[in-house]
Amino acid sequence: MGKNNLRFAFNVEFSLGSVLKLNVKWWGWGDLSRSYDLEGRKMFLKFLEDKLQCSGDVVQQPARVDSMKFPPMKADAAFVNSLNGIFGGENVRVDDMDRFLHSFGKGYLDLIRAWRGTPQLLPDVVLYPTNESQIAQLFDESANWDFVVVPYGGATTVVGGVSTRISDGQVAVCLDFRFMNKILSIDEKSLLADVQPGCLGPEVERALSSVGLTLGHFPQSFEFSSVGGWVATRGAGYESTRYGKIEDLVESVRLVTPQGTIETPHVPASAAGPDIRQILVGSEGAVGLITSVSLKLRKAPASKSYRGVIFRDFEDGVEAVRTMIQKDIVPNVIRLSNPSETEVSIALSRRNGGSYVEKVGAWFLKKRGYLGTDGALMILGFEGSPERVRFERRLALASCKPFGGFSLGEGPGRMWYKQRFELPYLRDELMKMGVLVDTLETATSWSRLSTLHLQIMAAFREAFEELRVSGFAMAHMSHVYRTGASLYFTFMAQQLIGHEEEEWHLIKNKVTDVIVTSGASLSHHHGIGLEHVKWMRQYWGPLGIRVLKSIKHELDPKGIMNPGKLLPPG
Ligand SMILES: Cc1cc2nc3c(=O)[nH]c(=O)nc-3n(C[C@H](O)[C@H](O)[C@H](O)COP(=O)(O)OP(=O)(O)OC[C@H]3O[C@@H](n4cnc5c(N)ncnc54)[C@H](O)[C@@H]3O)c2cc1C
């Protein structure tokens, strides 16, 4: 195990004599050395006080790992020995810390359990495969031993995708792909790259940019999530409006299943019956392990331009976007915040009350009716050749005008672009202040979008009232299609200490019921994991679930792959 390759890490609070380096927070987001700086952000702190009765003081910290008690490892020594024979002893870990760190992702429930020192089940063994044949050999072992397999990429799942679920007597094996992180080939003529699943976003883009190419898949979790995870969950990056979601960027996928290996043809299009590739993309580790992916590339853009546009209200912005996209004007990024998110974005952007220029700008916009309580901020991003960027920007801004869209120039766009991967660090600070903070998302058609937005915002309010907590929800529309768009919600509430899980479930259930009942996507890009399973039957219908289960049964007849995820029991 090469020391320098190790990205995931232990917190500084304990020393294990482990080979793992200390550079990533287990209890929060990203690099241990990075945090969201709230210094001087008085408007935001005031907002927290007004909306959440939150003092802004640190009231809690994550539990110390060295004081946690973990369930004992249950794997038989003979089983571990056979794994050592396949993977090499250093890539087979049974120590408590490796097991603990592989027992959760980054969803609120996962994190709060980890913070409280009450993680749910731990895997018994953590494996670090270095090649595909080891995985096939692992499946051969299932004839001799009763174990389940949990695939683990960057562990940024927010739906419980990497949590351990086992029946009595079973052993859980977590397969961490971090050492299968090679770019296998780049075909510059066809614009394709074959990559291993453990490559993280920056590893992919670094290799591609060295030959003037890009994948163009930039989820907010880009720096810490992996190709395998993206493909397994049907993820979306902020440029999906232009480039598509990951399922649009996969030419072919290779999967090792308990029943053998399947690799879909490397072809740009096919009429050979239904598309098996699209069944494997989004399979969330429930049928097999993705061992390589052929990704569709593009030329890296020569020029980028990001802009802010303000609307008098969200509805005007929605109509502007719909009209623009239906005229086939397709910016790389369209992100329209609702009034509450606009308020928070402005509060976060101001330090010490804002500069003189910002104050004058705000005064001017208010006078023109833009920054009342209903203002909606839009970020538009354009990438490509300078001529194309100029041309598309002109068309897009012109189509905002009839709806009252007022261009704020490049300032807000630049700021958004610069900070696009920083906001997740804010959650860590909020959790320290005793704030429940999480996100959820969906997608629906244009004719239902505005109603759904209002219904979901109302469901959040009802949930906060029922819980008798101060709470706040905000949303943006992004990932835009000719027929509709995704809605992405962030919610915050006073944390009910001691009842954090019940509190989260009440909010999540109320809002997700509204989403599914309205016929919108159960998830647009986070996937199903554990947290959305209970709505799957309602979403796909009984026959749909039988179809999915028959695929699972064919590839994983003993049900050893990622139990509890994706498919409802029974
Ligand atoms: C702050 C934050 C921001 C986020 N922003 C976005 C966003 O903008 N867009 C978006 O789409 N998502 C986003 N997510 C969710 C998450 O990052 C995505 O779901 C991502 O695709 C998961 O990748 P990962 O490598 O971390 O996978 P993991 O979390 O490790 O795994 C996700 C699922 O895939 C399975 N899996 C992983 N690797 C394999 C493999 N090789 N073979 C088979 N199954 C496998 C796992 O078992 C699990 O079920 C965000 C999450 C956070 C915490």
CA atoms within 13 A on the CB side of 203: 20
Lowest mean pLDDT among 111-120, 159-168, 375-384, 471-480: 111-120
- Dist. CA 553–CA 349, nearest whole Å: 51
Out of 36, 126, 134, 157, mutate this one to test ligand 1's pocket (max ligand atoms within 8 Å of CB): namely 157
pLDDT digits (tens, 9 = 90+) for 5-44: 333 333 333 333 343 445 889 999 999 999 999 998 999 9
Q: How far is the CA of 175 from the centre of ligand 1 (A)?
A: 14
What are the structure tokens assigned to 322, written together?
Answer: 């719909």
Q: How far is the CA of 293 from the centre of ligand 1 (A)?
A: 15
Residue 22: the pLDDT is: 54
Higher pLDDT, 523 or 6: 523
Pairing of strands 171-176, 125-127: parallel
What residues line ligand 1, using a CB cutoff of 6 Å? 29, 105-106, 150-158, 161-162, 177, 197, 219-221, 225-226, 228-230, 232-233, 235-236, 284-285, 289-290, 424, 525-527, 529, 562, 565
User: CB of 187 within 8 A of CB of 252?
Assistant: no
When computed from its CA atoms, the radius of gyration of the chain, rounded to whole angstroms, is 24
User: CB of 102 within 8 A of CB of 155?
Assistant: yes
Ligand 1 atom with the shortest distance to the CA of 153: 30
pLDDT digits (tens, 9 = 90+) for 475-522: 999 999 999 999 999 999 999 999 999 999 999 999 999 999 999 999
Q: How far is the CA of 202 from the centre of ligand 1 (A)?
A: 15
Strand residues in 196-243 grouped as ranges (E): 213-214
Which one-letter amino acid corresponds to residue 412? P
Mean of all residue pLDDT scores within the chain: 93
- Within 8 A by CB and 6+ apart from 215, the residues are 193, 204, 205, 208, 249, 295, 296, 297, 298
Q: How far is the CA of 546 from the centre of ligand 1 (A)?
A: 25
What's the mean pLDDT in 308-323?
97
User: CB of 284 within 8 A of CB of 562?
Assistant: yes
pLDDT digits (tens, 9 = 90+) for 189-203: 999 999 999 999 999
Place of tokens 């986070």: 526
* CB neighbourhood size of 539 (10 A): 17
- Dist. CA 365–CA 370, nearest whole Å: 5
Query: Whose alpha carbon is nearest atom 49 of ligand 1?
Result: 161
Residue 9: the pLDDT is: 38
Out of 128, 134, 138, 156, mutate this one to test ligand 1's pocket (max ligand atoms within 8 Å of CB): namely 156
When pLDDT is cut at 50, 70 and 90, the band that residue 137 belongs to is: very high
Judge if pTM exceeds 0.85: yes
Strand residues in 446-511 grouped as ranges (E): 471-480, 484-494
Residue 16: the pLDDT is: 35
| DSSP codes, 386-414 | HHHHHHHHHHHHHHHGGGT-EEEEHHHHH
Q: Is 546 helix (H, G, I), strand (E, B) or coil?
A: helix
Q: Which of 447, 437, 431, 464 is CA-nearest to residue 519?
A: 447
- β-sheet bridge partners, residue 151: 175
Out of 7, 221, 246, 431, mutate this one to test ligand 1's pocket (max ligand atoms within 8 Å of CB): namely 221
